[in-house]
A and B are shown apart, each in its own frame.
Chain A
């Protein structure tokens, strides 16, 4: 019988994505076999992250503080807005240095099969921000999978009547892929090759 504290640790670790029971056990045994300060450093980092990180009030991306650094940076192009599915996508695009504008994080993609509809995403907020900030160009960078494409179509239709220019990043990426796993060079190409989407 494992000590209760160890058992609890294993169960918590096993909740993490792509960690099964086996790896959870291995990680747990590793952690508790280390000198005390090491697991504690991890615990503190976790606590700090959980405490300090949240959603940016403006772009709904990941932020330390109520408004993220990107939203606060006056040097960024205030007329361009890139729409992504998840907060982590922002960092992938930032790493490619091809985009200097603002971001908007939807919090997912439209997927009726999984019960996710437009009202479950930050789409109304997007409309409001575009209007309030006077955005001139929206670049849709949702994932190149079916749901991402459907979301892109939905947004394009939404802004059809408005003077805002809407484009979709080109499919420089493997179909069915995930922005997160796309390297910077591929992403850069995709941004440069962006095209009018469903004109």
Chain B
């Protein structure tokens, strides 16, 4: 997906903004608190139809206003579309080519933004649920039926939870059977994606960090049955314990993903910068898989990319970003030496955005 132009009305600190973009690299530069991240958030909304910073709509609307509009064109497989996202305090409406979009799941299964943002990285680091959500969202695009299976699983789980709360042990059987059949539909694609990522991670990581230690993503399924029968056996064994707890304690909703670097594990042992580099490697690996598996080029939204990264890493990053043909947006308070002269620049000042002249 490529967004050639974007219009904002009453979005965050923007009153009105009309802005044009190129097909590749963009820098959004400016002092703190000027609206760089807000602009990135608007771009994220263009693919995800929701914010990554706020589950509520109200904070997205400019203070004192009652609705905001995000208008944009986008190009997808050589076709140009017009889209509008209208945010009201209580609800949101999306128009695609001037027709109301009925099912946002149809839309978000076609488009994707790869986001790098400090808050999101912190959440990813801290919470297994955030990591699951991250991979689930990617898999919903990468694997044809994944989204449907995920929804199915959630519905089975909700029904089962209801029975567990009411102490209806005898009625769990049918739902455990359905769950047992559903589990491999989630676990196998997850494992497949992690395997594929692991083939790419090392390359990116050594390119960025020059450390020569292997980087791996570990997928730890809570249940990893050989087949639905085995899953059912395990679920059945656990039923009394689940009943005592009153919720579903077993299943893919408890799966975990972890990052290891050499002997070091996860957030506990990895430094800020190391984790950052590891996460970026993961994002770029994912970007590659989007391209090879389904010819999708996500938007790359890299917020505050350069903080906490040393010069060498930044230089190596630049090398890679130059090679990509994604539409890329990078924010920062200034542009590092390595990037001087590259891409399109925009100066963000208090809710206004000024495109810099092409040559400096």
- Residues on A lying within 8 angstroms of B by beta carbon are 110-113, 117-118, 146-147, 149-154, 157, 198
Contact = CB atoms under 8 A, between A and B. Distances in A.
A111 B171 contact: no
Given A112-B162, A113-B162, A150 B155 contact: no
Interface residues of B, number: 16
A43 to B, nearest CB: 37
B178 interface: yes
B173 A157 contact: yes
A111 B175 CA distance: 10
B177 interface: yes
A153 to B, nearest CB: 3
A147 B163 CA distance: 14
Interface of B: 152, 155-156, 158-160, 162-163, 166, 168, 171, 173-175, 177-178
A150 B162 contact: no
A153 B174 contact: yes
B163 A154 contact: no
Q: From DSSP, what is the main secondary structure of chain A's interface residues?
A: helix
Contacts of B166: 112
A160 B73 CA distance: 59
Contacts of A157: 173-174
B178 A113 contact: no
Given A112-B159, A112-B162, A112-B163, A150 B175 contact: yes
A36 B93 CA distance: 45
B174 A150 contact: yes
A146 B156 contact: yes
Contacts of A112: 159-160, 162-163, 166, 168, 171, 175
Nearest to B152: A146
Most buried by A among B159, B163, B178: B159
B158 A110 contact: no
User: Which 6 interchain pairs have the tightest Cβ spacing?
Assistant: A153-B174, A112-B162, A150-B174, A112-B159, A154-B174, A113-B159
A149 B168 contact: no
A149 B171 CA distance: 13
Contacts of A113: 155, 158-159, 162
Given A112-B162, A146-B152, A146-B178, A153 B173 contact: yes
A118 B171 contact: yes
A93 B156 CA distance: 28
14 contacts: A111-B159, A112-B163, A112-B168, A112-B171, A113-B159, A117-B168, A146-B156, A146-B159, A150-B159, A150-B174, A151-B174, A153-B174, A153-B178, A198-B177
A48 B53 CA distance: 59
A153 B228 CA distance: 15
A198 B173 CA distance: 12
Nearest to B173: A157
B174 A110 contact: yes
A153 B177 contact: yes
Given A113-B155, A117-B168, A146-B152, A154 B162 contact: no
